[in-house]
Amino acid sequence: MKTAMIKSPGMIHVYLETGNQRVFAGAVDWPGWCRSGHDEPSALAALLAYGPRYALVLRSGRIGFRAPEGLSSLVVSERLKGNASTDFGAPAVAPSSDAEPIGDVEVRRFQAILRACWRSFDKVTKAARGKELRKGPRGGGRQLDEIIHHVLEADGAYLGRLGLTSRRTEKAETPDGLSRVRQAILKGVDPAAHNPPSIGPRGGVRWKAPYFVRRVAWHALDHAWEIEDRMR
């Protein structure tokens, strides 16, 4: 269900993706700032709590963002029905605004946000080198190298959603391989924004540029913040 998108100064529009067991709250205009909870109030509270951390990420890219001070600044503009991926732990449904055309200015903004998210991920993984990450309550949780490989492998898979390919991601952990994957992502945003096919040659659904950026940014930050929290 979509409500009117009337922008107000100081207000942040949020979409909610609701599965059977989990709800994601994502900021419409700020890719990567997306958190989950077991219901709408807890998801919105989590999004608000992570606002200052997201602001620190974007500070490195000099992207103007101010974290809201209270829940009253978050306006729910759309509610989406989630799926199995939602309950598994990944936002999987694009808000309707992601289907709207975007111009060169927004493409450059998206690229700047991606760079800022990657810098944050790289900074955190560097700080975690040589440290054992705290296990979960049941002894679960990937260790650092496994997380890095998982994120880079996902980035390669996400490129396929634009109809692009990258070299095998097991080589992406090298500086050259990592740079190639990320450059392919940055370059892929532009044609996807201006000439986005909705269906691939084999019938697979292609992602629009805004959702592609939203998913890549969320995944990098989700694991960067996981690593930070597990080092404490």
What are the tens digits of pLDDT across the range 118-158?
999 999 999 999 998 998 766 678 999 999 999 998 998 89
- pLDDT at site 137: 65
Specify the 3-state DSSP secondary structure of 18: strand
Q: What is the pLDDT of residues 174-184, one digit of tens each?
A: 667 788 889 99
Q: Where residue 3 falls among pLDDT bands split at 50, 70, 90? A: very low
- pLDDT at site 112: 96
Q: What is the pLDDT of residues 73-104, one digit of tens each?
A: 999 999 999 999 999 999 999 999 998 888 99
Q: Where in the chain is the domain with CATH 1.20.120?
A: 101-231
User: What predicted TM-score, i.e. pTM, was given to this entire model?
Assistant: 0.88
Lowest mean pLDDT, pick from 56-65, 110-119, 166-175, 208-217: 166-175
Residues 6+ apart with CB under 8 A from 73: 10, 11, 12
May I ask the CATH architecture of the domain 12-97? Answer: 2-Layer Sandwich (3.30)
Residues 6+ apart with CB under 8 A from 123: none
Q: What is the mean pLDDT of residues 22-45?
A: 98
Q: What are the tokens at 135? A: 């296990």
Q: What is the pLDDT of residues 44-71, one digit of tens each?
A: 999 999 999 999 999 977 898 999 999 9
Considering the chain, what is the average pLDDT of its residues?
87
C-alpha 181/C-alpha 61 separation (Å) is: 20
C-alpha 117/C-alpha 114 separation (Å) is: 5
C-alpha 31/C-alpha 26 separation (Å) is: 8
Q: Where residue 172 falls among pLDDT bands split at 50, 70, 90? A: low
Q: Where in the chain is the domain with CATH 3.30.160?
A: 12-97
Domain 101-231's class? Answer: mainly alpha
String of b and e for 98-128 (b: at least 16 CB within 10 Å)? beeebeeebbebbbbbbebbbebbeebbeeb
